[in-house]
Every structure is written in C-alpha cells, then in structure tokens.
Structure 1
C-alpha cells in the first residue's frame, strides 16, 4: 500500500509538463506569461538554457554547468533567493508578536479573478491591507497605526484555484501621538467577524469602481449577474467572506522560520510528486478537514492544467508591505517603532559578502571547491585568463 511518505525521487514537475507539451504549447491553450513559464521550467538546467564553464584556479580542471531558468514558478530556482530574502526581512521586522491572518474570497468571484488577475489580485491586496489599517486605528479596538506584510497564494493543496492573502500583522502599534507602543492582547485586536465585514465592504467598493470604469472583463457565464450593481451586491452580501486568524507568532525568530518555508513557494514542489506513470501523476496533499496527508492521483493533462492556473502576470509582485512596514516608512515610522520598543535594528549577516561567500554560508560548504585537486576554486573565465567571481 502506498503512503504519503513513499516517493519516486526521480519524478519532477518538468517530466509532467514535458509529457503534455503538445497539448498545451502546441494547441495555444496558454497565455504568453504561462507559455514562458512552461518553457522555462522544461528548459531549466538543460542545454537549451545555455551553459557556463568553471575552471580551477589551481589545477586547471574545467566543468560545464547548465544555467537555471530563474523563473519564479520553477521549483528548482527558489531556494537561494528565498534564503536571501528572509535574511533581509529579518533585519526590518519589529521584535514583537505577530498575528497570521488569511483573507479569502467567495467562490462566485473566482471566474472574475482568473479572467482579470492583475486587477483583481491588486484589489485583494489593497482591500485586505486597508481593512487591517481601519480596524487597528479604530479606538474601539486598539487605536494604533498598524501595518502588515502580505503574500498572495492562488492555490490549495490539491492545486485548485483558490486566491487568498496570507498576512503578518504586528501585535500592536504606535499610538496616534507616536509617543507609546500599544501592544494588543493575546487574541487579535479586532473580532474576526468585524474584520471580515470591513474587508468585504472595502473590496466591494473597489470592485464597483472597477466595474463602472470598465476596467474588468466579465466572464461569459456571469454576464447576467454583473448586469447591475444591485445583483452583484446581493450575491456578495449573501456569501461568507472568510477571514482566519491563525496561531500567533511570539517573535521574529518564529516569524522568519515560518516565512522561510512559505513566501517563495510555487504551487507544488518536486518533493510532493511521488510518481509519473501511465499518464497519471501521484502527489501528496494535506486534507485540512481531517489534518491528514494523503495521496492524490490525477491525469497528467489535468495536473498540468491546474498547475498553469497559478502562473502570475509578468512583473506582478506577490509579496507586499503596507502601513508602518512599507518601504516608504522604513526610515521614518519604522525607526520610531524601534525607538518606542527600545530595540536596535539588525544588520544583515550577508551585507558586504561576495557571491562566493554568501553561497558558502547558505550551503554550509564551498560550492566552488575543485572536485579534482580539492584545494583550488572553480572560477569563471580562467580559460581566457579572466578569472572573476560569478
């Protein structure tokens, strides 16, 4: 009997996409951004991506390595980028507890979101951040200036289309006079139902503005519902807008540990793929209803269709900062927050290090140590007498 722990380690996402190349690329089923991601994942670390030669500065041994695609949807190309981002973030986080909040949308909005991804994802970011800001600044709840770090995910464990925002919110904030840091109690600083109502109201206001100004394309099967604002409002206010408050993070170390596993995820990693055989894929997924990890089996075509739904528009930022945590406030409000908390900002451990040194620290060994003589460094350009760091 196969369990969620058993796995064929040779199976990768690129194998599945390769088997469906004609069905998806050959038949024009993908938009330009999806087609680029598809090709990049297929070509990553193959001859099609080109190569570079490393030569030992001691014994002269050479090694040819294929280039990575660096596409953010490729499961092979996120690890180092993720670690560098997390290290940088650690230096800007406030030393306080954090709430983990998840904002979701009703099912009826999903077709509109998929057809207008750039616009709708932007509205989801803005509405969720403004909802937290309004709730935090309300004197009846906490009465502080707040902020958040927001991450967009578009998938569920079974690769179904499920746009939602994961948000980290400091458990407190500076008072209106910027004279005191007011900490929230152990629970969230606003009732979940109240936050959900604020979020729904802000999002619908933005949605109506976009509809009135013809910024959105309407799904063919939903044109009747979007014919008048009243019909849309009736549908929206008859549904639950789920907002979840998850376990509180006690400090920056716990936050950073969480973010390291979470922010740079792609829809599915190679480690979750168990096998690709006879036109079907078996992969592990977590069923949150009974909190068990299970094995799902899908035809390769359906698996590929589900995965490609989660390719984001080109240039779209899936990680954003708001309020006191925004980049615009890095030198002003955040400095005031550190002052109120009587804490000093950290300096990145990687600051000032070369690429060689950063990779050595991340990997725990010298990645450019010559496998031949075991004393020299493998470097670019030595064959032409131009030894340089990569």
Structure 2
C-alpha cells in the first residue's frame, strides 16, 4: 500500500522498519513492514482488499515505544563505533549493522579479535558517553563539507551530493539517515558481547540497549543465582568454584583412564589366540565402551611384546591394532574388511589402527577364522 504522505521509517541503512497502524472511520489495520520502492514508500498492511480503495483518507500512527527502542539501539551503535575507534585506532571502521527494537549487531573491519581488556575499555567508554547525556545534532551538508568536518561514512556506501550528518556532542559524528534519541542519556544502559569473526578481517559485536539491556542483566542475574544455588556458592565465588570443579573432573578422567588401562592389562578378559604363520593373532571380548576398545588392543599387543595383531570386540563394536613391524604387510583396514565379510557391520582403518561397528556378535568366532585365513594368504604372497 502507498500513502500520499507517511510518518513510517522504511527499512534501510541497517535499521529495521517502523510498524504501527492505519485507522479510518470504520476500520483499523496493522502496518507490519515498510520498504522503499524507488522514490516511493511501500507499506505492508494486514487488511482485506475491500476495506480500502485509492483516495480513502487514513490516519497513519507509528508504534512510538518500538521506534524509541530502535532509536536507542541505533544511537548506541554510533557511540559504539566511536568507542571502538578510540580504543583500537582509526582502522576500526564500520562494515555494516543491523538495528532492531531489542538488539543490534555492529560489524567492523579489524584484523584480529579483541582482547578481554579491549572489550572492557570499549564497554566502559560507551556507557561513560551515554551517562554524559550528549545532545544529538542533525544537519544536512554537502558531502565534501560533511567529510571535512570529520564525519564518518560507510566504506562501501553510496551517497548523494547532500548528506545527513548525525552528531552526539562533539564526540561521535556520522553520515546517517536513521532515527535516533535526542540525548545519549535516553539510551540508559548498553551491553556488548565479545567480538567474533564473520569473515576475513571483519568482526561482529552484539549490543543490547535500554530495556533490552535491563532484561539481559535480570536474566543473567537469575542464571547466576540458580548456579549459585546448585553449587552452594556465592555468585562472586562462582569462577573459582567452577575452576576447582574443572580441575576435579580432569583428575577423575585421568584416574578413570588409568583404571581402564589396568583393567585392559590384567583384568578378567575373554581371550582367544592363534599362531598364524608366526604372527600372534588375538581376539579379546570385553564389556567396554567403543572409545575404550583401542586401550584394550594396546594392552593386548603389549602382552605379545609388540609382535602381533589384536582384535577387540565390545558388543556390536570392534577395534583392530597391528604391531608396527607388521603394519605394512597387514594394514588394519584390510583386516577389518576380512572381519566384516563374516561378522557384518561397517568400519575402516588407516595404517596400524582401525575401528568399526554394527557387527553380529554371534558371528565373531567365524570372523576371527576369516582373519586368520586372510593373514596366511597375505604372508604367503609376501614370502
């Protein structure tokens, strides 16, 4: 729908469109999107086609609280841009942005990730300038004059001869056509995340301002409270408590690995062995997770003084390990295929090691004999 005049801001320059409604004598309709179309502005309106016709008079009303929330985020991105350049240097230049009512993203060109200290300095400077309640000034100037005054422009944006310059005090000055707060203090609070890479030499920071930032603080405090309750620790002591738990987990993992190795080396195992043309072939059946099968295979080869082949089966999974002196003549992948031809399942290997799964446990014994036949054939072929 097109209006002869409109108060709605159409989406452009990274700022989302206004929403609101149209009303008339006997009706009302929601405006859910506004987009530029050539020199005109197109409104997406939720209304039956028969309710309005060309020439009808309507009252256009912008959702003012939503527009103000968008303005807070847009103004906050301007202050963030200036803060980044103050902390990182003039090479930190805007590469794009997305401004919504409850968050904004700010993309900038910079060759590396920010340190924790740099993020903290940017955050503190940003909120310092918000608290300074800097007055917003808007003026239209010829492009060359605007640039001469120190206004910052997007690197790849195309501008006309006359541009709109938005300034906050004498600190932040940019070319911009979007909506903004009248003073920086109206932003209230701004929270920023650490930066992340979105492409070669381009970083992204996420930002929340005003009520959205306050909700984020409340949500974060709730999470800290729940973590403190679960760990019976004051929120301020959570980092040290988590560090202690991480150290304990590492200790227990190391202890568990040691126990698995001891079990593999001398526990109650079901072992079958065969001497195949001088090669010690071992089949071991264990009750163990898939990730531990190679531990048992290593232990079996150690018992064979490193001169043999170990096949370890745990349920429907299996692993194969070949002693290094034999790996060239008896690659694990070939042994796995010989085993699978009888036991079924899938698997593969590289060099002396391989694993697989999905086998039929009832056919493991016959598969073991199939591997013996394969080894005899291979060793005979290689002399």
Q: Which has the higher strand share?
A: 2
Q: Which has the higher contact order (CA 8 A, sep 6+)?
A: 1
TM beyond 0.5: no
Rg comparison, structure with higher value: 2
TM-score norm. by structure 1 comes to 0.23
